[in-house]
Amino acid sequence: MSVALSHAAYESCALCPRRCGARRLAGMPGRCGMSSELRVARSALHLWEEPPISGEAGSGAIFFSGCPLRCVFCQNHEISSEGFGLPVTAARLAEMMLELQGQGALNINLVTPTHFAPHVCEAVSMARGAGLTLPIVCNTSGYELAETVRALADVVDVWLTDFKYASGRLAGELSAAPDYPEVAAEALAVMVESLRAAGGRSCSAHGAMRRGIIVRHLVLPGDADDSCAVLERVWDIAGNDADLSVMNQYTPNEACRRAGGALSHSVSEEEYEIVLCRADDLGFERIWWQEGGTVSESFVPAFDATGVRGPELACPSRPQAL
Protein backbone atom coordinates (compact mmCIF):
# COMPACT_ATOMS: atom_id res chain seq x y z
CA MET A 1 0.00 0.00 0.00
CA SER A 2 1.30 3.47 -0.78
CA VAL A 3 0.22 6.47 1.25
CA ALA A 4 -1.04 9.42 -0.78
CA LEU A 5 0.17 12.44 1.16
CA SER A 6 -2.75 14.67 0.28
CA HIS A 7 -5.36 15.86 2.73
CA ALA A 8 -7.55 12.99 1.55
CA ALA A 9 -5.34 10.77 3.72
CA TYR A 10 -7.16 12.23 6.74
CA GLU A 11 -10.53 10.96 5.51
CA SER A 12 -10.03 7.46 6.96
CA CYS A 13 -6.65 7.76 8.59
CA ALA A 14 -3.97 5.10 8.04
CA LEU A 15 -0.92 7.36 8.33
CA CYS A 16 0.54 5.56 11.35
CA PRO A 17 0.75 1.89 12.42
CA ARG A 18 -2.46 2.24 14.44
CA ARG A 19 -4.42 2.50 11.15
CA CYS A 20 -7.31 3.74 13.28
CA GLY A 21 -9.47 4.83 10.33
CA ALA A 22 -10.55 8.01 12.14
CA ARG A 23 -12.46 10.50 9.97
CA ARG A 24 -10.06 13.26 10.86
CA LEU A 25 -11.32 15.55 8.07
CA ALA A 26 -14.71 15.49 9.81
CA GLY A 27 -13.12 16.53 13.11
CA MET A 28 -12.76 13.08 14.66
CA PRO A 29 -9.46 12.68 16.54
CA GLY A 30 -7.36 9.67 15.66
CA ARG A 31 -5.32 7.55 18.06
CA CYS A 32 -2.77 10.37 17.85
CA GLY A 33 -5.35 12.64 19.54
CA MET A 34 -5.56 15.00 16.58
CA SER A 35 -8.11 15.77 13.88
CA SER A 36 -6.95 17.11 10.51
CA GLU A 37 -6.50 20.56 12.09
CA LEU A 38 -2.74 21.14 12.17
CA ARG A 39 -1.58 22.12 15.66
CA VAL A 40 1.88 23.30 16.76
CA ALA A 41 3.07 23.89 20.35
CA ARG A 42 6.43 25.61 19.83
CA SER A 43 8.77 26.87 17.10
CA ALA A 44 12.20 28.01 18.29
CA LEU A 45 15.92 27.36 18.27
CA HIS A 46 16.75 24.22 20.25
CA LEU A 47 20.25 23.51 21.60
CA TRP A 48 19.74 20.10 23.21
CA GLU A 49 19.88 17.70 20.27
CA GLU A 50 22.95 15.70 19.23
CA PRO A 51 25.94 17.85 18.11
CA PRO A 52 25.42 17.23 14.35
CA ILE A 53 21.85 18.52 14.73
CA SER A 54 22.15 21.42 17.20
CA GLY A 55 25.78 22.47 16.78
CA GLU A 56 26.36 25.83 18.44
CA ALA A 57 23.71 27.76 16.51
CA GLY A 58 20.77 25.51 17.40
CA SER A 59 18.25 23.40 15.56
CA GLY A 60 15.05 25.01 14.33
CA ALA A 61 12.63 22.83 16.28
CA ILE A 62 8.90 22.79 15.52
CA PHE A 63 6.94 20.72 18.04
CA PHE A 64 3.65 19.26 16.80
CA SER A 65 0.72 18.41 19.04
CA GLY A 66 -0.38 14.79 19.41
CA CYS A 67 1.40 11.43 19.18
CA PRO A 68 0.39 7.92 18.05
CA LEU A 69 2.27 6.35 21.00
CA ARG A 70 1.26 6.50 24.64
CA CYS A 71 4.55 5.99 26.48
CA VAL A 72 3.96 5.84 30.22
CA PHE A 73 7.24 7.69 30.85
CA CYS A 74 6.62 10.51 28.35
CA GLN A 75 8.16 13.86 29.31
CA ASN A 76 6.24 15.82 26.63
CA HIS A 77 2.77 14.82 27.85
CA GLU A 78 1.46 18.40 27.57
CA ILE A 79 1.63 18.12 23.79
CA SER A 80 1.70 14.36 23.16
CA SER A 81 -1.45 13.41 25.08
CA GLU A 82 -2.98 16.62 26.47
CA GLY A 83 -3.24 18.33 23.08
CA PHE A 84 -1.60 21.66 23.90
CA GLY A 85 -0.96 23.75 20.79
CA LEU A 86 -2.27 26.37 18.41
CA PRO A 87 -4.12 25.63 15.18
CA VAL A 88 -2.10 26.78 12.17
CA THR A 89 -2.29 26.49 8.39
CA ALA A 90 0.31 24.83 6.17
CA ALA A 91 1.20 28.32 4.95
CA ARG A 92 1.89 29.46 8.52
CA LEU A 93 4.01 26.33 9.09
CA ALA A 94 6.08 27.26 6.02
CA GLU A 95 6.53 30.78 7.42
CA MET A 96 7.81 29.31 10.71
CA MET A 97 10.45 27.37 8.78
CA LEU A 98 11.61 30.53 7.04
CA GLU A 99 11.62 32.46 10.32
CA LEU A 100 13.84 29.82 11.91
CA GLN A 101 16.18 29.98 8.93
CA GLY A 102 16.37 33.75 9.48
CA GLN A 103 17.31 33.15 13.13
CA GLY A 104 20.34 31.09 12.06
CA ALA A 105 19.01 27.56 12.62
CA LEU A 106 21.15 24.72 11.26
CA ASN A 107 18.07 22.81 10.09
CA ILE A 108 14.31 22.55 10.39
CA ASN A 109 13.63 19.94 13.06
CA LEU A 110 10.06 18.60 12.82
CA VAL A 111 9.28 16.92 16.15
CA THR A 112 6.68 14.12 15.98
CA PRO A 113 5.26 15.32 12.65
CA THR A 114 4.11 12.27 10.72
CA HIS A 115 0.46 12.18 11.84
CA PHE A 116 0.38 15.53 9.99
CA ALA A 117 2.39 14.23 7.01
CA PRO A 118 0.16 15.80 4.31
CA HIS A 119 0.51 19.25 5.92
CA VAL A 120 4.27 18.72 6.33
CA CYS A 121 4.79 17.92 2.64
CA GLU A 122 2.68 20.91 1.63
CA ALA A 123 4.51 23.29 3.97
CA VAL A 124 8.02 22.13 3.00
CA SER A 125 7.14 22.62 -0.66
CA MET A 126 5.88 26.15 0.07
CA ALA A 127 8.96 27.00 2.13
CA ARG A 128 11.38 25.65 -0.49
CA GLY A 129 9.63 27.75 -3.11
CA ALA A 130 10.05 30.82 -0.88
CA GLY A 131 13.79 30.32 -0.30
CA LEU A 132 14.24 27.66 2.39
CA THR A 133 17.64 25.99 1.95
CA LEU A 134 18.05 24.20 5.30
CA PRO A 135 17.91 20.40 5.64
CA ILE A 136 14.67 18.97 6.96
CA VAL A 137 14.97 16.72 10.04
CA CYS A 138 12.20 14.22 10.84
CA ASN A 139 12.35 13.70 14.61
CA THR A 140 10.27 10.61 15.26
CA SER A 141 9.48 7.95 17.85
CA GLY A 142 10.33 5.31 15.25
CA TYR A 143 6.76 4.00 15.32
CA GLU A 144 6.11 4.72 11.66
CA LEU A 145 4.63 2.87 8.72
CA ALA A 146 7.29 2.02 6.17
CA GLU A 147 5.11 3.43 3.40
CA THR A 148 4.72 6.76 5.22
CA VAL A 149 8.49 6.98 5.63
CA ARG A 150 8.95 6.18 1.94
CA ALA A 151 6.44 8.87 0.96
CA LEU A 152 8.23 11.46 3.12
CA ALA A 153 11.69 10.60 1.79
CA ASP A 154 11.41 13.26 -0.91
CA VAL A 155 11.20 16.05 1.68
CA VAL A 156 13.25 14.65 4.60
CA ASP A 157 17.05 14.96 4.62
CA VAL A 158 17.85 13.69 8.11
CA TRP A 159 16.05 10.99 10.06
CA LEU A 160 16.37 11.50 13.82
CA THR A 161 14.56 8.38 14.94
CA ASP A 162 14.08 6.49 18.17
CA PHE A 163 14.37 2.73 18.44
CA LYS A 164 12.82 2.17 21.85
CA TYR A 165 12.35 -1.58 22.32
CA ALA A 166 13.41 -4.99 21.05
CA SER A 167 10.78 -6.71 23.20
CA GLY A 168 7.17 -6.64 22.07
CA ARG A 169 6.09 -7.35 25.64
CA LEU A 170 7.93 -4.29 26.93
CA ALA A 171 6.62 -2.16 24.07
CA GLY A 172 3.08 -3.27 24.88
CA GLU A 173 3.43 -2.53 28.58
CA LEU A 174 5.12 0.86 28.24
CA SER A 175 3.79 2.26 24.94
CA ALA A 176 0.64 0.22 24.20
CA ALA A 177 2.34 -0.92 20.97
CA PRO A 178 3.41 -4.58 21.10
CA ASP A 179 4.20 -4.41 17.38
CA TYR A 180 6.73 -1.59 17.94
CA PRO A 181 9.93 -3.66 17.36
CA GLU A 182 8.82 -4.98 13.97
CA VAL A 183 7.31 -1.67 12.86
CA ALA A 184 10.40 0.33 13.88
CA ALA A 185 12.69 -2.15 12.13
CA GLU A 186 10.76 -1.86 8.86
CA ALA A 187 10.71 1.93 9.09
CA LEU A 188 14.46 2.09 9.79
CA ALA A 189 15.17 -0.15 6.81
CA VAL A 190 13.32 2.29 4.55
CA MET A 191 15.23 5.23 6.05
CA VAL A 192 18.51 3.45 5.26
CA GLU A 193 17.28 2.67 1.74
CA SER A 194 16.33 6.32 1.13
CA LEU A 195 19.63 7.59 2.54
CA ARG A 196 21.67 5.32 0.29
CA ALA A 197 19.58 6.35 -2.74
CA ALA A 198 20.30 10.03 -1.92
CA GLY A 199 24.06 9.47 -1.80
CA GLY A 200 24.67 8.60 1.85
CA ARG A 201 25.59 10.55 4.94
CA SER A 202 26.77 14.14 4.40
CA CYS A 203 27.92 16.85 6.81
CA SER A 204 29.11 20.42 6.42
CA ALA A 205 32.72 21.42 7.01
CA HIS A 206 31.70 22.31 10.58
CA GLY A 207 30.08 18.94 11.27
CA ALA A 208 26.42 19.90 10.82
CA MET A 209 24.49 16.99 9.35
CA ARG A 210 23.04 17.75 5.94
CA ARG A 211 21.86 14.22 5.18
CA GLY A 212 21.86 11.13 7.36
CA ILE A 213 20.31 9.00 10.09
CA ILE A 214 20.72 9.23 13.85
CA VAL A 215 19.12 6.39 15.80
CA ARG A 216 18.34 7.29 19.40
CA HIS A 217 17.88 4.79 22.18
CA LEU A 218 16.80 5.77 25.69
CA VAL A 219 18.15 3.27 28.24
CA LEU A 220 15.45 2.37 30.75
CA PRO A 221 16.13 1.23 34.33
CA GLY A 222 16.03 -2.52 34.72
CA ASP A 223 16.11 -3.22 30.97
CA ALA A 224 19.77 -3.10 29.91
CA ASP A 225 19.38 -6.49 28.22
CA ASP A 226 16.60 -5.15 26.00
CA SER A 227 18.71 -2.07 25.23
CA CYS A 228 21.56 -4.32 24.05
CA ALA A 229 19.09 -6.25 21.90
CA VAL A 230 17.91 -2.95 20.36
CA LEU A 231 21.48 -2.03 19.42
CA GLU A 232 21.99 -5.44 17.84
CA ARG A 233 18.87 -4.97 15.75
CA VAL A 234 19.88 -1.47 14.67
CA TRP A 235 23.33 -2.73 13.70
CA ASP A 236 21.83 -5.55 11.63
CA ILE A 237 19.61 -3.09 9.73
CA ALA A 238 21.79 0.00 9.39
CA GLY A 239 25.36 -0.74 10.44
CA ASN A 240 27.42 2.43 10.12
CA ASP A 241 24.93 4.07 7.78
CA ALA A 242 23.46 5.37 11.04
CA ASP A 243 24.93 7.40 13.88
CA LEU A 244 23.92 6.01 17.27
CA SER A 245 22.78 8.11 20.23
CA VAL A 246 22.62 6.20 23.53
CA MET A 247 20.81 8.29 26.14
CA ASN A 248 20.84 8.03 29.93
CA GLN A 249 18.44 10.94 30.48
CA TYR A 250 15.50 8.84 31.68
CA THR A 251 13.81 10.58 34.60
CA PRO A 252 10.58 9.20 36.11
CA ASN A 253 7.55 11.40 35.62
CA GLU A 254 4.96 11.75 38.37
CA ALA A 255 2.95 8.73 37.21
CA CYS A 256 6.03 6.48 37.17
CA ARG A 257 7.09 7.67 40.62
CA ARG A 258 3.64 6.90 42.01
CA ALA A 259 3.56 3.45 40.41
CA GLY A 260 6.87 2.36 41.92
CA GLY A 261 8.93 -0.44 40.38
CA ALA A 262 11.92 -0.10 38.07
CA LEU A 263 10.58 2.99 36.27
CA SER A 264 10.38 4.95 39.51
CA HIS A 265 14.13 5.60 39.54
CA SER A 266 16.86 6.62 37.11
CA VAL A 267 19.26 4.43 35.13
CA SER A 268 22.32 3.26 37.06
CA GLU A 269 25.83 3.97 35.85
CA GLU A 270 26.40 0.22 35.56
CA GLU A 271 23.36 -0.26 33.31
CA TYR A 272 24.38 2.61 31.05
CA GLU A 273 27.96 1.34 30.80
CA ILE A 274 26.73 -2.12 29.79
CA VAL A 275 24.82 -0.63 26.87
CA LEU A 276 27.66 1.65 25.77
CA CYS A 277 30.08 -1.29 25.81
CA ARG A 278 27.70 -3.30 23.61
CA ALA A 279 27.57 -0.42 21.11
CA ASP A 280 31.38 -0.43 20.96
CA ASP A 281 31.51 -4.21 20.58
CA LEU A 282 29.07 -4.14 17.66
CA GLY A 283 31.29 -1.73 15.71
CA PHE A 284 29.35 1.55 15.61
CA GLU A 285 31.81 4.23 14.50
CA ARG A 286 29.76 7.28 15.51
CA ILE A 287 28.27 6.99 18.99
CA TRP A 288 26.82 9.90 20.94
CA TRP A 289 26.47 9.47 24.70
CA GLN A 290 25.54 11.61 27.68
CA GLU A 291 27.49 12.56 30.78
CA GLY A 292 26.37 11.06 34.08
CA GLY A 293 23.68 12.79 36.07
CA THR A 294 21.69 13.95 33.04
CA VAL A 295 18.13 14.89 33.95
CA SER A 296 15.59 14.63 31.17
CA GLU A 297 13.47 17.61 32.25
CA SER A 298 16.45 19.82 31.43
CA PHE A 299 15.95 18.87 27.78
CA VAL A 300 12.21 19.66 27.70
CA PRO A 301 11.47 23.21 26.51
CA ALA A 302 8.56 25.31 27.70
CA PHE A 303 5.52 24.51 25.60
CA ASP A 304 4.09 28.00 25.51
CA ALA A 305 3.41 28.56 21.79
CA THR A 306 6.70 30.42 21.33
CA GLY A 307 7.17 31.24 17.64
CA VAL A 308 3.80 29.81 16.60
CA ARG A 309 1.49 32.79 16.72
CA GLY A 310 0.69 34.56 13.51
CA PRO A 311 -1.21 37.83 13.43
CA GLU A 312 -4.55 36.02 13.06
CA LEU A 313 -4.06 33.46 15.86
CA ALA A 314 -5.58 33.53 19.31
CA CYS A 315 -4.25 32.21 22.61
CA PRO A 316 -2.96 28.65 23.10
CA SER A 317 -5.74 26.14 23.45
CA ARG A 318 -6.52 22.47 23.77
CA PRO A 319 -8.90 20.70 21.39
CA GLN A 320 -12.38 20.03 22.67
CA ALA A 321 -13.14 16.43 23.61
CA LEU A 322 -15.28 14.74 20.99
Q: Is the pLDDT score of 55 beyond 80?
A: yes
Asked if the structure places residue 116 within a domain, the reply is yes
Parent domain of 49:
37-299
Residue 312 in any domain: the answer is no
Q: What is the mean pLDDT of residues 150-156?
A: 96
| 69-106: pLDDT as tens digits | 999 999 888 899 888 999 999 999 999 999 999 999 99
Report the pLDDT averaged over residues 295-301. Answer: 60
Q: Residues 254-283: pLDDT tens digits?
A: 889 888 888 999 999 999 999 999 999 999
Closest among 125, 121, 86, 94 to 10, alpha carbons compared: 121
Residue 314: pLDDT band with limits 50, 70, 90: very low
Q: What is the pLDDT of residue 299?
A: 61
Residue 315 maps to a domain: no
Q: What is the pLDDT of residues 236-258, one digit of tens each?
A: 999 999 999 999 999 888 889 88
Name, in order, each residue with C-beta under 8 angstroms of 7's C-beta and a sequence gap of 6 or more. 25, 36, 118, 119
Using one digit for the tens of pLDDT, what is the confidence trace for 160-218? 999 999 999 999 999 999 999 999 999 999 999 999 999 999 999 999 999 999 999 99
Helix (H) or strand (E) holding 209: strand 209-218
Report residue 292's pLDDT band, with 50, 70 and 90 as the boundaries. low
DSSP 278-322: HHHHHT-S-EEE--TT--GGGGPPP-S-TTT--TT--S-B-PPP-
Residue 14 resides in a domain:
no
The 10 Å Cβ neighbour count of residue 255 is 13
**Sequence-distant (≥ 6) Cβ neighbours of residue 152 within 8 angstroms:** 5, 114, 117, 120, 121, 138
What is the rounded distance in angstroms from the CA atom of residue 78 to the CA atom of residue 84? Answer: 6
CATH number at residue 94: 3.20.20.70
Q: Is residue 13 part of a domain?
A: no
> Shortest CA distance to 153 belongs to which of 183, 105, 190?
190
Packing angle between helix 90-102 and helix 117-129, nearest 10 degrees? 50
| pLDDT above 70: percentage of residues in the chain | 92
Residue 29 lies in a domain: no
What is this structure's pTM? 0.92
How many domains does the chain divide into?
A: 1
Strand-pair partners of 159: 138, 213
Q: Got the DSSP string for 39-98?
A: EEEEEEEE--S-HHHHTTT-EEEEEES--S---TT-S-HHHHTS--BEE--HHHHHHHHH
Mean pLDDT is lowest, of 42-56, 250-264, 281-295, 296-310, for 296-310
Question: Does residue 12 fall inside a structural domain?
Answer: no
Instruction: With respect to residue 92, please indicate whether it lies within any of the assigned structural domains.
Output: yes
